[in-house]
Each structure stands twice: as structure tokens, then as C-alpha cells.
Amino acid sequence: MTGVSAAAGAGVGIRLSVSTAAGAEAGTLCGVPFARDLRRHGSALAVVSADGQALTYDQLADRVDEVGARLGPGRRLVMIAASDGLEPLVTYLAALAGGHPVLFSGPDDRSVEPLVSVYDPDVLLRQGPPGWRLAHRRPGSAHDPHPALALLLSTSGSTGSPKLVRLSATGVQANAESIATVLDIRASDRAPVSLPFNYCYGLSVINSNLLRGAALLLPGTSVVSKAFWAMFRDHGATSLHGVPYTFDLLARADFAAMDLPSLRYITQAGGALPPRRVRELAELGQRRGWRFFVMYGQTEATARMAYLPPELAASNPGAIGRPIPGGSFEIVRPRPSAPGTTFPGGDDPADGPGELVYRGPNVMMGYAENARDLAAGQVVDALATGDLARRGPGGLYELVGRGSRFVKPFGLRIDLDRVERLLSELGYPAACVGVDDVLVAVVDPADPADPANPADPAGPAATTTHTEPVGTGQARTEKIRVEVAAAIQAQTGLPAGQARVVVVPGLPRRPNGKVDYPAVAAVAAVAAPRDPVTTDNPPTRLRIRFGEVLNRPEVPDTATFVDLGGDSLTYVQLSLEIERALGWLPSGWPTIPVGELERMGVEPATDVGPAGARAPRGLRAVEVDVVLRAAAIVLVVSNHIGLFSLLGGAHLLLVAAGWNCARFGLVPGQRGVSRRLLRSAARIAVPSMLWLAGRIATSGEGSVTNVLLVDNYARDGVPGYWFVEVLVQTLLVLAALFAIPAVRRLERRHDFAVAVAVLGAALVASLAADPDVSGGFPTRLYVTHGALWFFVLGWAAQRATTGRRKVFVIAVAAGMLPGYFDDAIRETIVGAGLLAMMFLPRLLLPRAAVAVAASVSNASLYTYLTHFAVYEWALPHAAPLVVLFGCLGVGIGTWMITVRLCRMGWPPRALSAARPSATRWALPPERAAGRASGEAA
């Protein structure tokens, strides 16, 4: 081997070749073959998007050609700011096919802006209203990239680090071919892409499957989402890919109990999985008929370097396996007689561990730290991984430690040297290490090696072998820890639990004055466990809001909105908080753990910056059913006060209640479904019963059947409250149904089929209801067995995650609604609202309008309960429009007071039950029946 050992600035070493032949050879290829040759797979299925759009390879090639024509014939630097989606995939393939270097980044501003500033891309693809936009920042190109350059990826995942890995077209193609061979990928395979595109592992799934003519599934949501598994089953997915954190989520979703007959294999990379979990998954695969591949790689090797054969995983769960086809490993150990130099170790396991060095066609061309580096050729012929390994019997390699200066939480590589430089700039000299893949910063606020501080009289030879953490009771120490943790979390995007701070009176140093990292690691290992981040590091503002809105004193990293008892109205509040913090609202966020949401880019607790570039200035995304609920309660009150008459809102919001019950009440992997549904019923019933009892006591209006919420059947009181009665009774019926274990298991495996079956039963039940629609009570419109099918229609619509399912739900609605009310406008309102929920999930509105809509929809239950009393007093004294605003204001005020009392813990059970329900409190009747009878919504 010609070359010398050289540090690459972040602990991942390279071998610098004296010859430039490798660069010249790599430069002969312009474009990546698998991307150029899509048409050879013809009419085979190529990709299915989250909205059900399916493209064959011929159709995908047409789309790629269209984007390629827009990019032009000259090579340009194309930046794609996205983590998933069909448009980013097409643009990526168009760039690869045309020989345009691709620079990937995450979608948030923190990832995009530093890279745009340093590398000045010619073309930028980014999502923003009204959709994806391919922006040409100049005609032609400002760059002269090396002919071999195909791909630029961050060494630190999505953290926006300007240090990039330069990957050649040869390397991208070679790694795809090696992976396809190892995994035996076939044209009949269907691979869900659940990992971000800007992550080398995610790209490797795309590349290797397209190479073999397999189909990609783009679910656009988490692996714990019902939509993910609906797409998985509907399209017969054959593989699953994840980092260690993915398998934590799968365990919580009860993956072991899932029936997945199409699954052929699973791959795991992105960090070490505990040997126990490897063995469990390998044995589970043996029982279920799929293969489990442990894989090892780095961005510097175009993703994958090694794989563990599935048949050896259960007996060798700690191994990374063998090199992929075309690659090779050697272990380099220090030469005892000449510290600092290396020599290749032998194959005898007795030789002991050393640094793992990889060679293969997929090794990077080199690093880039600025735009000028894009012109550089191949300068690397061997990759020193920075990991310590040994070679065991049978040629299996096993990692025994990390010599590199990275940690890898959540599969995200964080450059520790860069974090140290950041903290130094902030005035906190620190040494950063990884302890069990947790970033630990050991900080000395008065380090003598810091030029800003006086020199230590002991000189550089002084060591800190007696370094101990500073007592945590000191106010200054706590202030330092809070500030350092906030800085780390803000710059890296790590959730609180993955970044810890230890304050010491002096950093451990060697006699030459350099930091003694083994000693630092020893200090961190002893001190960090006593310093749990949940109490010592500052929560982000988003975590604080989760706790406040959901009335939870503790919000663990792994908890989701659903885990924490989230429901429909708290969903409204937190969705706005997330959109404010991230600049966008991740799809399926209620089932994404809080720590993962923080990692996506939330700001620290001090202040949340402005929303990202996904919405123009002054606009904000809002869920369409938030707007529907706000509009409907306005219609209800307006009808009652005589401002105008427009019916249909209450039955539409029964549909919305079913939709949101499916979202928040029936969640994969969540136990206690019946308890959740009972809590939802109580959160509606308790404030309603208290208010109705108070109304009877003060005005004499109503009866005990109203208080008990059964008057829609008893007909002894005021009939206008039928909506609350139907909704509470429906939730009680569902709670009883899901108390049956067989039903829960069936719904977990066949969610849409169960919803359709219940819908059929509800339609049959409606036939037994009084068909009279003249306005009297009760009719089939207002009794539970008559109105139940509207609720279940919403449930089925939420489970309709594919095109065929959506067509079925629309067909049911189209068959049932016309003529059902004998009121075309009323039927149109229900049908249009259903379509909006299914196909128009979000709207862009002015920020002020979003705030108003959120407040009105949050307070809908309380507006409904109080508005009768308000308008009876106010109508004789004010115009109807003024009364409308008064009713809405009283409802909002009542809601805010109730929420405040619940957070204060008073009363502990009664009013706390009044927090918004998991069905998203849907709205009341549009028209009361006078006081004793008459027409309701």
C-alpha cells in the first residue's frame, strides 16, 4: 500500500494515495448507470407514493427525463432539501442520470442555510406552498465539479455540517450492486423507504432496489403509523429497513405479533443494536420465514461495508460480519516500538483488536469543506473507519470500541470535534466523548489551556488524574450545564436525553498538554449516569408545551402524543406549536416520539425562532378539520340565534369525530384501547352533565334524562343536546367492543376491514331507526343506532390509506347521502367535508386566522354548552351578529378557565375529565328544537 496514515479531521482516517490514477480512472464515468437505465425494467411497478400515486419504470423514466431536461445538458450542482417524497426521488434520479452532482440536506432551515451559504448550489429543490419548487438560482453553473463526482452527503446526517463526503458515480453504482447481491434483491420485491433520503442508509435502499427493478414504497410516515402498515400490506412489501431506534419503535408497536406474509428480509444499520436484540430478531425471523441482516457502514463508504449472514446472526449477535462483495478489511494495530505508527495486523484473533480499515470501489473520493473542493479528484484508496475491531473465527469481524471522534445516536453521526469548537467559541472549553452513543460534554469553565484564561502555574505537564465532577449543588455549575446543553441541542438537533454535560475543575490532559480522551471518557462514564438530562438539561420549548398542554409533569424522550393521552383538541394546540418550532408539520407526528420531534429541528426552550421557509411570511399551515369545526360551531350558533339557517354541520362533525377516534383512540401497539375510549367519553360527558345539572337547578330547563345523556331515547327533556348523547353513547359502545381481545387483534391486523365491517353493521342498524325526517325527536338522524354510521364512515375514511380504499369509502358516501336528509345542501356539506378530510388535510391561512380558528374549535364543546344561556339573555338587547361574537367569546373564556383549573389540579377528577376528547369534540346540532321540540341539525 502506498500512502501514509492521516487524520481526516473528525476521527475517520483516510489513506492518501501518492498516485492520482484512481482519480483519473473514476473520472471516466459521468452519470450513474442504474439511474440512466430505468427503462430497461419497462412496465414493472417502480414507485408508489404516500398519496397512492403509482408509477411504472417507463413512467418514472418519463418523469426523470422531464426533470433532466429542465436541469439542462451542462453539469450543475443540484441541492435537494428533503427527507422523502416522490418529487425529490425523481429529481435525484434525474441528476444522477445526467451526471449532475447531488447535494442532499434535511428540509429544515438549520440544515439548508449553512450548505447553501458554503456550496452555493445552482439548483435547489425544496418544498413550500403550493408544493415542490425546483429553483434555478442561475443559468448554467458556478462550479466545475470533478467528472466522477455524483453525490455529496453530510458526515453528520442532517445537522447541516458544511463538511461533506464526496462520492463518485462508480462508488454509488458499486455499492448498489454489492447490496443487491448480498440481499438477493429481486424485481418482484417491494421496499418501503422509511429512512430519510439525506441519510446514506436511506439512499442505499433506493439505489439497490432500483438497480434490480424492484418497487419502492414511499409511506411518508413513521413505522408506528397505521398508514405505514396499510401500505406495507396492500402492496405486499418484502423488506423492512431500520436503525436501532426503528426497532425500539417496532417493539412498542408489537411488531413480533404482526402477520406479514410477504416479508422476505429485514436490514439493520446506523449504529450497533444490542446483541440480545440481534438474537431476538434473528430467531423471530427464523420462526416467521424472513431473514435478518445486520449491516455496517459509513457515509464515507457510500453506505455499506459489511453484512452479517442471517444464518450466523443468532450465534454471533455481536459481530458486524464480513465485507460486502468487492470490499475488504484489514485491522491496523499500533507498533509497540514506535508509538503513533501503524502496521497491518495478522488474521490471528490472538493479535488483539486494532483500527478497522476498509478498501473497495465504494470508498469516497474524499471530503469537501467548501465549493472549491468539488473539483478535487480521488484522494482516498483506504478508509480508516475510526472503529476498533477484531477478526474472529470464521472471518467474522466484531467491533470492540470506537476510536473515532463521532457519536451516533438515532443513527445520526455527530462530529465531536465540531461540537468542541462550538463550545470553545461560546467560552466553554470542553472535551466531548461518546458514552453508550450518548454525547457527553466534559466542561472546565476555567481551563488553563484556553487562551482566554491565565496559564496554569503547573504548566502543560500537569495532568488531571484526580479530576472529579464539580458538585451539582452549586448555582454556577448548574448555569453552565444549562447553557452548554442548550447550545449542544440547538446546534446538533439532538433530543435532551442524548446530550449530557459534566462540569469539572480541570480537563484531563496528557503530559504534552493535549486532552487525555480516555481519562475524559472515564470521568464521563462515572459522572454522566448521576446527571440525568431530564432534570439537569433544559427541555426544549416543545417538550415544555407537551407537558403543559397534556398536563404531564414528565415527558420522556420515547413518549408520543398518543402515549401521553393526547386527543383531538390538544392535537390542535400541539400541531400549531410543532409547526411554529419546526417551520413544518411532520406527517404522522402524533405517533412520533417527542425526542424524535426535537431531533427534527426544534429550537431550545429559550425562544423559538420564526417558522421555516415552508410557508410564506404571514401564513401558517392548519389542519382542515380545525377549520371545519370552527366553521361548524359558528353555523350552529348562527342557526340558533336566527342569523341564518344552514344545516349539516353536526352530522359532518360526527364523521370528523369518527376520523379522529381512529387517529387517536385506535393506535397500533397501544394497549388499553377501551380505557382510552372511556376517558374520551368522560371528557365529553362530565362537563356536559355538570352544566346541564346546573341549568336545571338555576332555570328549571331540562330533565334528569338530559343530565344522564339519554334523552335522545327517553324524550323527556330538552332534545337539542342529542349530539352529545349520540357521541358519548357511541364511544361507550366502541369501548365495549374493543374490550374483546379478538376484536383488538383483528383490528390491529386488518384495520380497514374491521372499520368496513362495523360500518356495514351500523348501516343495517340505521334501518331499524324511525325513518321520519320531519324534524321531530327522535328520528333516525338523532338516535345513536340511526346516526352511528356517520361516525363509522369517518373511521373508515381515516383508515382508507390507499386509492382503492378511498374509492370504496367515497362510493359508500355517494350511495347513502343523496336523499338521506331530503336536503341537498345539508347532504353536500357532509359529503364535501368528508372529501376535504380525505384529500385536503391542511390549509394555508393567515396566522391571525389560524389562531382564531384554533381558539374557536378548541372551545367548541364549551361554546355549545353555554351559548343557549348567553343568547337567551343577549338577543333582546343586541343584534344577532353581536350575540354571535358574545357566544363565541364566552365559550372560549370558559374553555380557557377549565384548562387552567385542570393544570392546577382542581378539581382533580371532575374538570380534568373535561379536557378535549380523543374523538375531537365534534360539534352540536345546528338548530335547536325550540326548548322542547322542533328541528335539530
CATH (domain of 445):
3.30.300.30
Separation CA 279–CA 117 (nearest Å): 46
Q: What is the CA radius of gyration of the chain?
A: 31
In this structure, the answer to whether residues 817 and 843 fall within a common structural domain is yes
Task: Give the domain range for residue 335.
Answer: 1-17+328-360+379-404
Separation CA 132–CA 67 (nearest Å): 13
Nearest to 291 by CA among 366, 224, 240: 240
Instruction: Answer whether residue 937 is part of any domain.
Output: no
Instruction: Answer whether residue 498 is part of any domain.
Output: yes
Instruction: Answer whether residue 114 is part of any domain.
Output: yes
In this structure, the answer to whether residues 635 and 518 fall within a common structural domain is no
**Dihedral sign from CA coordinates of 922, 928, 933, 935:** negative
Dihedral class, residue 631 (left if φ above 0, else alpha if ψ from -120 to 50, else beta): alpha
In this structure, the answer to whether residues 501 and 649 fall within a common structural domain is no
User: Residue 136: its pLDDT value, please?
Assistant: 94
In this structure, the answer to whether residues 631 and 769 fall within a common structural domain is yes
Separation CA 557–CA 572 (nearest Å): 21
In this structure, the answer to whether residues 724 and 763 fall within a common structural domain is yes
Structural domains counted in the chain: 5
Instruction: Answer whether residue 787 is part of any domain.
Output: yes
- The residues of the chain scoring below 50 in pLDDT are 1-29, 156-159, 336-347, 349-350, 447-473, 512, 529-538, 602-614, 775, 777-778, 907-937
In this structure, the answer to whether residues 31 and 120 fall within a common structural domain is yes
Q: What is the DSSP letter of 301?
A: G
Separation CA 559–CA 892 (nearest Å): 29
Q: What is the DSSP letter of 515?
A: B
In this structure, the answer to whether residues 343 and 486 fall within a common structural domain is no
Q: What is the pLDDT of residues 119-163, one digit of tens each?
A: 999 999 998 777 899 999 999 999 999 999 999 998 744 445 688
Separation CA 301–CA 297 (nearest Å): 7
Instruction: Answer whether residue 496 is part of any domain.
Output: yes
In this structure, the answer to whether residues 886 and 863 fall within a common structural domain is yes
Separation CA 566–CA 472 (nearest Å): 35
Q: What is the DSSP letter of 369?
A: S
In this structure, the answer to whether residues 636 and 608 fall within a common structural domain is no
Query: Last residue of a domain, which of 489, 516, 536?
Result: 536
In this structure, the answer to whether residues 674 and 649 fall within a common structural domain is yes
Q: What is the DSSP string of 730-793?
A: HHHHHHHHTTSHHHHHHHHH-HHHHHHHHHHHHHHHHHTS----SS-SS-TTTSHHHHHHHHHH
Pairing of strands 149-154, 102-105: parallel
In this structure, the answer to whether residues 565 and 437 fall within a common structural domain is no
CATH (domain of 611):
1.10.1200
Separation CA 17–CA 1 (nearest Å): 9
User: Residue 488: its pLDDT value, please?
Assistant: 84
CATH (domain of 86):
3.40.50.12780
The Cβ-side half-sphere exposure at 915, using a 13 Å CA radius, reads 28
Phi then psi dihedrals of residue 553, to 5 deg: -70, -30
Instruction: Answer whether residue 921 is part of any domain.
Output: no
Query: Last residue of a domain, which of 568, 595, 617?
Result: 617
Sheet holding 149-154, edge to edge: 131-136, 123-128, 78-81, 102-105, 149-154, 164-168, 366-368
Instruction: Answer whether residue 462 is part of any domain.
Output: no
Contacts with 540 (C-beta within 8 Å, 6 or more apart), sequence order: 489, 496, 581, 598, 602, 603, 604, 605
Query: Last residue of a domain, which of 565, 586, 617?
Result: 617
Instruction: Answer whether residue 543 is part of any domain.
Output: no
User: Residue 327: its pLDDT value, please?
Assistant: 96
In this structure, the answer to whether residues 372 and 399 fall within a common structural domain is no
